Amino acid sequence: MEADLDIMPLMNLFVVLIPMLLISAVFVQLAVVDMHLPPVDAAADTPDRDRIELAVTIQADRYVVESRHTDPQVISREDAAHADEELATALQGFAEHYPHNDEIMIVSQGDTRYQELIHLMDMSRDTGMSAISLLGATRN
């Protein structure tokens, strides 16, 4: 006795399922972020007193440049060109006075424009401070 296998319903199921699975699949693009971490012994070599912890706070009407070793410096942002020039001079002064420091923290408000952050990051990089941290401040 010979039996015929009817695989047409199974083939119909595959014809419908395979395109549905391909359409619903999420194709993820992988990216690599190069990170150069300091060696474990580097933290022990750098004493805490050499760290200046430089921070620039972006506010609506001013920049506030602060560090562990200096008083806060307030730069008015009413005249944008003058404010950029004065901020660049302040950052250059820190870079010259503390040549081993390449860290800076940028503190922004919730309404800070993205372009302002990028501009300040570029300015920091131009003065030799390439280790940039971003921090968002909350409103009181």
Which domains are assigned to the chain?
Answer: 42-136 (3.30.420.40)
Residue-wise DSSP of 2-70: ------HHHHHHHHHHHHHHHHHPPPPPP------PPPTTHHHHS-GGG----EEEE-SSEEEEE-SSS
pLDDT at 13: 92
Residues of the chain below pLDDT 70: 33, 37-38, 41-51, 137-140
pLDDT for the residue numbered 14:
92
Distances (CA, A) of 13 to 4, 20, 36, 118: 19, 11, 51, 53
**pTM of the predicted model, to two decimals?**
0.59
d(CA 18, CA 94): 62
pLDDT, residue 24, reads: 85
Q: What per-residue confidence (pLDDT) applies to 81? A: 82
pLDDT at 18: 92
Residue 69: the pLDDT is 78
